[in-house]
Structure 1
């Protein structure tokens, strides 16, 4: 009798050791947090339990909730919490159907094994979260270095160009005022429009290089939104695009520079209009929580391809035709929001289009 019991215990120990070895192999082969890795772990866990043919193993961690098979009846279970940096972030559970088994059918050593597996899963997730954070930080630092260097260059360019452009515009307008020849008048108009366009680029360069003074005031956001939309009314009408404005709270106040936030709205809304099909709708949602103002701009356009999402805030990057823009609009937006201690995020709209989400501290 004792020999039979010893043999059974030995088999269970072998199963446990095999399970831990297999889980170690599964994790070592993975190069990221992946649903397939977690599924292989729970399948391996199932095989280590005494009555594995009836066991159902489930894992709930982060946004993942996986089962080895469907569970349609009441169960008894063993459970272990999964911790990441000492915080509970989920669990792994082994279930038996309660109509066939009792809690006593679980081994004490099985609970210890489950605890060990939970630790392995927590370490696995923490490792790759740390690697992902390091990679994100490295990309951010590289971007900041590029932007700092480019900011210094563009500030110098903007200052050098501003004075001669002002002189050209002034003299061109003087000639236009005193001219009576229609042919010359047409040519001078082209010169004036070209200079105005060039000065707009210079202004964007100065925004980008943070050379524009910032005037932060606690004020309501609603009048700024309404002004921007009224100013762009003709842009909407040209493509027969509607705008849907939603204020979750019409009295939201925050600390911001109204001129710069207007510039942000102009750039994002003009881009949304450009990307949107005729007779579609651009939705603008203004909301807040206890600490932040949220501004969403949702279009129904072509969307932004996955392979260029990381580049859209880079200076001079543009998908528009050569004569349509200089690729500074979103860089300006990024710089302004950063100077407000805020964030700008990008999401895909459903079923198609893009959502830009701006978060700015209320104070």
Structure 2
């Protein structure tokens, strides 16, 4: 059903031109809120159709899904794909309710307009994703620089503390060999215990700063993982948490420092155990390609909020109550992985929990 007069045809063309101008303005003035921008585009597009009061614009781009009105059970519609970086990521539709309307109520010029606006949306969303990626790369570079500086500082602190701690422990052991009254003996035990605890913190600082000596050799990965899990078996039972190990290649070998890789596994598994609810499962997955092997530890805990993801690998950062942790476990993991020329990242587990993924080269 086409406009039956030149005047009506001219009116439709003016509406289309106004729509193009308005949507161009919306995109150029967008302040980064994608959902609001998409809503404005849809409302503007609705006005350009021949029967705007009955038209319903639907836009789907990844997780964004916009409707200008409630969609009736049956509709007829015009359709354009949304292609982001040449991949289909959604669609743009203009509906009319059926059977009140049919495909004859659409104009061929309206379909051309729909493709044009879909193309504008493609460009807008690609720019948005590029900005997000640039911000992520910049943030990640800043974090790496910050961690590098912290690594140098903590290495210096660790070296400075090693000597006095050694002296405290040495003299405490000499004193312990003498006859002491009960109170003095108990006090001395506390001094030795505190010194040993401090020495462990120093060791973790040295791990973080990559100052610990490494002994690199070709090792089978499965025996190391299974041994760590066997050591932690009582801990799993005590917290009523189970685990599931999935090894894609049981003969997998990589060039690693056995002690440091074991430390990584202990720290990550203990961290997952700490947040895992009773009755949940921790999944450990190991797989590889030609150059790298990947280890994922997946828990069903509360997950890691966006606010703390950028800080989670920094030394002394912890969400645990005072006395439950030093805030060095994940920074130690980061330091070891970095020294092995690998990478560690954290993502969300669905519906609950966190996924720690380690990427390590098979050969250094």
Residue 249 of structure 1 pairs with residue 248 of structure 2: yes
Number of the residue aligned with 2:200: 200
Instruction: After superposition, give the CA deviation of every residue in 1:16-73 in whole Å (9 maximum; x if it has no partner).
Output: 1222233234334543353343233233323312244554433332333444443644
Partner of 1:356: 355
Q: Report if the CA contact (8 A) 2:228-2:262 is conserved.
A: yes
Matched residue, 2:313: 313
Distance 1:231 1:174, change over 3 A: farther
Rate the CA distance shift 1:10–1:130 in 2: closer, same or farther, 3 A: same
Question: Matches of 1:182 and 1:226 in 2, distance apart?
Answer: 47
Going from structure 1 to structure 2, the CA distance change for 1:182 and 1:358 (only over 3 Å counts) comes to: farther
- Residue segments in structure 1 that go unaligned for 5+ positions in a row: none
1:116-195, aligned counterparts within 5 Å?
116-176=116-176, 178-181=177-180, 183=182, 184-195=184-195
> Would the aligned equivalents of 2:276 and 2:299 in 1 still touch at CA under 8 Å?
no
In the TM superposition, what is the alpha-carbon distance from 1:342 to its structure 2 partner? 2.2
Per the TM alignment, residue 201 of structure 1 is displaced from its structure 2 partner at its CA by 0.9
Distance 1:72 1:287, change over 3 A: farther
Aligned: 1:344 with 2:345: yes
1:286-297 correspondence runs (5 A): 286-288=285-287, 290=289, 292-297=293-298
* 1:1-363 mapped onto 2 (5 Å cutoff): 5-28=5-28, 30-68=30-68, 69-70=70-71, 72-73=73-74, 75=76, 77-79=78-80, 81-95=81-95, 100-102=101-103, 105-176=105-176, 178-181=177-180, 183=182, 184-217=184-217, 219-236=219-236, 239-247=238-246, 249=248, 251=250, 253=252, 255=254, 256-276=256-276, 279-288=278-287, 290=289, 292-300=293-301, 303-339=303-339, 340-347=341-348, 350=351, 354-361=353-360, 363=362
Q: CA deviation at 1:157?
A: 1.8
Q: Contact 1:337/1:344 (CA < 8 Å) preserved in 2? A: no
Q: Secondary structure at the match of 1:232?
A: helix
RMSD of Structure 2 on Structure 1 (CA): 3.3
Alpha-carbon distance, 1:117 to partner: 0.7
CA distance in 2, matches of 1:346, 1:56: 37
Distance in 1 of aligned mates of 2:218 and 2:67 = 51
TM-score norm. by structure 1 comes to: 0.81
Q: Cα–Cα, structure 1 residues 215 and 7, in superposed 2: closer, same or farther, change >3 Å?
A: farther
